[in-house]
Structure 1
Amino acid sequence: MSKHTPGPWTAEPPSEQTPHIWVNAATNSGVAKIEVCDYDDGKGERLTDEDFANARLIAAAPDLLAALKSAAAAIGDWSRPTGANGMTSASLGHPLMVAQRAMYDVIAKAEDRS
C-alpha cells in the first residue's frame, strides 16, 4: 500500500488556459483533474456545480481522513470500561461504538486495507 500525497490540498478553479479544475497538493503537484470531456472553449459542455463540489470534496480528503482517525481514537479512549462513562464490555451496540466501527471501515478503504 502506498501513501497518499500529503495535504493540504486545494481546488483551483478553471482559467482561460485550463478549462478544468485542478486539485493540487501543497507541494504544487497535481492530485486530480476534473474536466468535461467535450469542453470546446465554452461552446460545448460546461463544468457544473457538482463538478466544483466534487473538487472541494476531493481537496478536503486528507483533512477528512485525519479528522476521522482522530475521532475514532477519541471514541476508543472514551469507551474504555471505567464505570464513570457507563461503558461495559457489553456496550458494543452503543451508537458511538457502531460509528467507530464504520469509521475504521472507511479508514481501511482509504488506506486500501478493506
Structure 2
Amino acid sequence: MTRLAGFVGGIVLSGSTIYLCVTELRSRTHYNSFVLRESRARLEALQKPATLPENPKPYIARPSLLETMKDRWNAELEGVWRWSQNLDHVKIREGLEEKAGNVVANLAK
C-alpha cells in the first residue's frame, strides 16, 4: 500500500505543480498582452494628428413663422415637381388605357 500511496502522492504533487505553473504562466501572458496593447494604443495616439473640435454652425433665425412656412411650401412644391419629372408618363398612360379597356370590356359583357 505504501508504494501505491507514494505513487499517487507523486502524481498529485506533480500535477498540482504543473497546474499552478500553467495558471501563473497564463495570467502573466494575459497581463503582458494587455500591457502591449495599451502601449500600442498610446503610440498610435501619438502618431495621429490632434483633431480640433468642429465649430458649431451659427444659428440662423428666421424672420417670421410666415416666412418659414413659405420656405417649406416652396420646398414641397419643388419636390413634387422633381418627382413628376422622373415619372414615365407613357407607361402610366398605357396602364390607364388598359384598365379603361378592361372596364369597358366588362361592361359590354
Query: Normalization by structure 2: what TM-score?
Result: 0.25
More strand per residue: 1 or 2?
1
Query: Normalization by structure 1: what TM-score?
Result: 0.24
More helix per residue: 1 or 2?
2
